[in-house]
């Protein structure tokens, strides 16, 4: 496997986990190539023998960088943070840093997995929407309360952090699943502020190499 040249991100345009990493790469100004993995086509390209060699978990994202392949979005983001620390995505203050990790984990472990493609396939049929709405709503109720204590302009004060990279894709998912966001004014306000930033715009699902024509911005 060739590791020379630019980093390569294995990504799917609408994958919220992939979007988190695309935001981090954009914020840190890291040029990279994309290798799209269509999670729906051919029964799911993530299940191909070729992609299993990249990530045995058969999930996106995966990032080929510095002679290694990393999977799991937070592991990738934290590696980028440790090897390319500017601009920083984890606050210097240790309490704020812990809060950024807490909010990230809340979304990455407590909300997103319960409404992702794998789970919804198991739920099946008409219950998919109801299932996704239920778990996003439960998660957002808690997240709204947490953010009321930690937020400034963004999730943790006025600096963009790893928590923000997790929040925006999750709000996008909530909108896809027709969740009423009116009860979550803090989440809505932060999301709007973040979507004004270039890194969040260029990494958006509507602007990716594999975005279908009808969904392009």
Helix H or strand E segment including 161: none
Return the domain boundaries, the chain. Answer: 8-87, 94-200
* Distance separating alpha carbons of residues 31 and 26, to the nearest angstrom: 8
Specify whether the CB–CB gap between 90 and 81 falls below 8 A: yes
Residue 91 reports pLDDT greater than 80? yes
**What is the model's pLDDT at position 5?**
85
Task: Give the length of the chain.
Answer: 217
Arithmetic mean of pLDDT, 40-59: 88
Distance separating alpha carbons of residues 217 and 139, to the nearest angstrom: 29
Q: Are 110 and 136 in contact (CB under 8 A)?
A: no
Q: Sort residue 34 into left (φ over 0), alpha (ψ -120 to 50) or beta.
A: beta
Confidence band for 1, pLDDT divided at 50, 70 and 90: low
In CATH terms, the fold of domain 8-87 is Glutaredoxin (3.40.30)
Looking at domain 94-200, does it have CATH number 1.20.1050.10?
yes
Residue 3 confidence (pLDDT) above 90: no
Reply yes or no on whether the pLDDT at 187 is more than 90. yes
Q: What is the pLDDT of residue 130?
A: 86
Average pLDDT over residues 28-51: 91
């Amino acid at each position: 496997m060739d590791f020379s040249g630019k980093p390569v991100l294995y990504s799917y345009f609408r994958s919220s986990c992939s979007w988190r990493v695309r935001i981090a790469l954009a914020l840190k100004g890291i040029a990279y190539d994309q290798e799209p993995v269509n999670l729906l086509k051919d029964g799911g390209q993530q299940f191909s023998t070729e992609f299993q060699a990249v990530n045995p978990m058969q999930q996106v994202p995966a990032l080929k960088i510095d002679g290694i392949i990393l999977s799991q979005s937070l592991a990738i983001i934290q590696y980028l943070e440790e090897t390319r620390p500017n601009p920083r995505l984890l606050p210097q203050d240790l309490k704020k840093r812990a809060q950024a990790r807490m909010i990230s984990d809340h979304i990455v472990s407590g909300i997103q997995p319960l409404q992702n493609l794998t789970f919804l396939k198991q739920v099946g049929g008409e219950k998919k929407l109801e299932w996704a709405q239920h778990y996003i709503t439960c998660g957002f109720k808690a997240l709204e309360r947490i953010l009321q204590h930690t937020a400034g302009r963004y999730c943790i004060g006025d600096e963009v952090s790893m928590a923000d990279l997790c929040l925006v894709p999750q709000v996008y998912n909530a909108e896809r699943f027709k969740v009423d966001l009116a009860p979550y004014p803090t989440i809505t306000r932060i999301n709007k502020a973040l979507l004004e930033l270039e890194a969040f715009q260029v990494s958006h699902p509507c602007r990716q190499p594999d975005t279908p024509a009808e969904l392009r911005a």
